[in-house]
Structure 1
Amino acid sequence: MAMLSFGGIDVSKDRLDVMVLPEEQCSSVPNDAAGWAKLVEQLRGFSISAIGIEASGGYERGAVRALLAAGMSVRQVNPFKLRQFARASGVLAKNDPLDARMIASFVAVMPTRPAQRQTPAAERLAEMLAVRRQLSAEKVAAENASRLLEDAMLQRLSRRRIARLAADIDMLDGHLVEVVGTDAPLAHRYRLLTSMTGVGTVLACTLIALLPELGGMTRKQVAALVGVAPYAFESGTLKGRRCIWGGRANVRQVLYMAAMSASNWNPGLKAFHDRLKAAGKKPKVTIVAVMRKMITTLNAMLRDDVVWADRLRGRHSVPTVR
């Protein structure tokens, strides 16, 4: 029986540092199309069980695509968890080959979720959502700074800048819908998601692009993956409050805004929100509970292939768009 191997890839702009364990095979390839092909060829020589690669601001995309296209199991490793793992292993130094070794060790012993191949449309959505987040952050910063301006000319400049950012965000929102419409399965998921009052274009596209696992998980799994699952902080006589932790922050942030809207305009979720509020729950606890109920319900809707109204009436399916 062949011994299973685990790979680790540390990503930089120009280079991929690779380590295969337990063979201790270390190599480096360029981070370009030729390098990705060479990487796949090298790794085919091992009985690879999983290949870990650390998220690196997008520089990892080409390598991930090439590995998935070659049928290899890729695990995108959370940088925070990796550093915690390294410290727990007694490794305090940090350099590219050492990071590759730690990534390989991490996927060998820690439970990780396999990366999924994304359609070109889903990848375009993810890229556009990243730019939208940047523009939104710039707009908020510009609005905050404008409140302190006294000079009339600076106020005019600030208003023009805010208006331009708002227009760019609106333009992106329109393009998000257009991109979803080019892919029939994505368009179907979009229709199911937006059937829930409170789920708009941005949340639906965020879930499609950044949470492709939605619909294939349990309630507990999806809550943990988004970061809205409560964890106990108790030890001995210490009785701490339950807190949420971890998860995909970019998804959670958009879900928070949608939950605020749904708490006012979605009859079912509004009743749920008001019931928790009447029971004396703190505002933050209440809104997190609404977020959790939204994401677990959306997960069930995609799993069962039902729209929101049909789910409320207990129907089981809707015609699938082919």
Structure 2
Amino acid sequence: MQLIAYSIGADIACETFEAVIQKVYANRTSEIVTKRSFNNTRGGHTQFVKWVGKNAPDRSLVHVVMEATGRYYEDLAYVLFNAQYRLSVVLPNKIKNFARSLNEYSKNDPLDARIIATYGAMYNPKAWQPMSPLMRELRELSRERQSLMGILTQARNRLHALTSSKCPRLDTVKRLKEQIKFFTRQIDQIEGEMDELRDGDEALQINHALLCSIPFVGSVTAYTLLAETDGFALFENREQLIKYAGLDIIENQSGSSVRGKTRISGRGNARIRSAPYMGLAAVGNHDSVFGETYRRAIDKGMAKKQARTATVRQVLKVAFGVVKSGQPYCEDTHRNRAGKRVGEPSSSPTVTEPRKQPVLEPQN
């Protein structure tokens, strides 16, 4: 029987990972060659590469598949990528649903590794590509800022509640105020570092300016969108971006008896979904296509939160368009094409011809 691939499944945990090598034949049958446990360390990664080379000698047939388990998979993924192995990183929910389709309801690391290897043999998922070092650094800063903003909001809420109570303890109030000042300084520092990254890279500078040309998209929102999408390089069309953000529409209808509510999936990257949301707080009073979208949703009976979410979808589609086309946002063109209900042409529905790069103001 002709051998067509070595499908290697790796189930990654914090300290260790399990690996299984399967041979895949031309008739799509497979058999397990060997399995082993490794430490999730540099030494363990080196041992894994040697083990793969010994048991799967034809490198061109090797396909390693692993779950996107937090951050624990990243070191091994980069080792394999640098060693020029074909690698795929799959979302855990896909592996979980695949296991259910096999009637596998037990869960342990060796079994998970075998299921991942079988998934790779059957579906041949697309190869993983790492983010550029610049975008990876920007993503780290963006996520650090989001985390600190959450802590800062909690501190402000505690301070407000405490000062609104009777006879608040002054020492506690003082400490909360000091915490707020500290986290505010930290956030300002992070934003300054993000600006430095932007100023040091022409492509990032241009894309940031393009996104900031869109109403309701500020500097921090632009950084978040670029960081979480690898500069929109992860997507070929708008619908892929919308699905990745968890804003794709889920329907629940069947025949004449089932008429469930239509909702967004909420399964994607929540950071992309939430980035433009807060900036749209005043969209209902804005004389723009986005404001009209919001008011139209309200007129249809949507709650304010739902209407703002619908507007976020439109903002993300426009963001994709301006970055991919390389042209800043144009309100008139957006309004004309939105009014005509034009579909998704090859160029952006929010830009005009001819294409021009935005003029960048010198940074002080």
What TM-score, normalized to structure 2? 0.77
Q: Which has the higher contact order (CA 8 A, sep 6+)?
A: 1
Contact 1:5-1:23 within 8 A present in 2 as well: no
What does 1:38-187 correspond to in 2, within 5 Å? 38-43=47-52, 45-46=57-58, 47-48=60-61, 50-109=63-122, 112=125, 114-149=127-162, 150-187=168-205
- Secondary structure in structure 1 of the residue aligned to 2:4: coil
The residue that corresponds to 2:264 in the other structure is 244
Q: Which letter does structure 1 place at the counterpart of 2:306?
A: V
Does the 8 A contact of 1:305 with 1:316 survive in 2?
no
Largest Rg, 1 or 2: 2
Distance 2:356 2:312 in 1: 25
Deviates more, 1:304-313 or 1:125-134: 304-313
- For 2:214, which of 196, 209, 213 is the aligned residue? 196
| Distance verdict in 2 for CA 1:141–1:74, change over 3 Å | farther
Aligned twin of 1:315: 353
Q: Indicate if the aligned counterparts of 1:197 and 1:262 stay in contact, CA closer than 8 A.
A: no
Q: Does 1:285 align with 2:306?
A: yes
Alpha-carbon distance in 2 for matches of 1:8, 1:276: 46
Q: SS of the counterpart of 2:7?
A: strand
How far apart, CA to CA, are the structure 1 residues paired with 2:182 and 2:353? 45
The Cα offsets for residues 141-191 of structure 1, whole Å up to 9 and x where unpaired, read as: 223333443322212211221222222122212212212333333333222
**Deviation per residue, 1:247-274 (Å, 9 max, x gap):** 1122212232244465655733123222
Partner of 1:257: 278
1:259 touches 1:294 (CA, 8 Å); kept in 2? Answer: no
Q: What is the letter of the counterpart of residue 16 of structure 1? A: F
Query: Which protein is richer in helix relative to its size?
Result: 1
Is the 8 Å Cα contact of residues 4 and 49 (structure 1) preserved in structure 2? yes
Q: 1:196 to 1:203 in 2, by over 3 A?
A: same
Q: 3-state DSSP class of the match of 2:276?
A: helix
Deviates more, 1:46-55 or 1:7-16: 46-55
C-alpha RMSD of matched pairs (Å):
2.9
More deviation in 185-194 or 287-296? 185-194
Which segment is superposed worse, 233-242 or 92-101? 92-101
SS at match of 2:277: helix
Distance 1:146 1:92, change over 3 A: farther
Q: Which residue of 2 aligns with 1:306?
A: 327
Q: Residue 12 of structure 1 corresponds to which residue in structure 2?
A: 13
Percent of residue pairs bearing the same amino acid type: 24
Which one-letter code corresponds to 2:294 in the other structure? H
Q: Structure 1 stretch 266-275 or stretch 227-236: which is displaced more?
A: 266-275
Name the counterpart of 2:40: 31
Distance in 2 of aligned mates of 1:316 and 1:27: 58
CA distance in 2, matches of 1:255, 1:319: 24
Structure 1 gap ranges (5+) = none
The amino acid of 1:182's aligned partner reads: G
For normalisation by structure 1, the TM-score amounts to: 0.86
